Amino acid sequence: MDDIDARIVAFLIRNARASYSLIGGEVGLSAPAVKRRVDRLRAAGAITGFSARVDPAAMGWTTEGYVELFCGGRTSPDEIRAAVRRYPEVVDACTVTGEADALVHIRATDVRHFEDVMERIRAEPFVVRTKSVIVLSRLVDRADALAPLR
């Protein structure tokens, strides 16, 4: 990825609906040249898709929290992934260092819904215990956090 590719990706992160012409004006290329670069970046897997950013609360998801999963035995990441993917309220999950085996990010309509989801996850056969926290306020939400470093 060269500097122009990085600038194109950064622009798309800020505004995925921007025209190739608008992007080209910003990076000094024609619209067809920008399109070729975007197509190449998509084919290489650097750009994985385009999406709309929405306010979760406006969509009815007013409660969010994180649940640490402590798993028994030799539970593999694939087993954890398969289990938590079944819950549409799980918006992100990862294995982590430390005492917990995984960290699960949940969005729910309210605290009761959050508790219900957490209880269903807690009932998975490999889960020994959980530890959860509810988000009170989001302090930083960087939409452009994945912009290429220059």
Position 128 scores a pLDDT of 97
Average pLDDT, 10 consecutive residues per value, the chain (150 residues): 92 92 96 97 94 88 97 95 97 96 97 97 96 94 66
Amino acid at 143: A
- The pLDDT value recorded for residue 78 is 97
By the 10 Å C-beta count (0-12 exposed, 13-18 middle, 19+ buried), 3 is classed as exposed
Domain boundaries, the chain: 3-44, 56-134
The CATH architecture to which 3-44 belongs is Orthogonal Bundle (1.10)
**Confidence at residue 148, expressed as pLDDT on a 0 to 100 scale:** 66
Q: What is the per-residue pLDDT for 141?
A: 81
Q: Supply the pLDDT for residue 144.
A: 64
Q: Which CATH class is domain 56-134?
A: alpha beta
pLDDT of residue 134: 97
CA 127 – CA 48 distance, rounded (Å): 32
Compute φ and ψ for 94, nearest 5 degrees: -155, 155
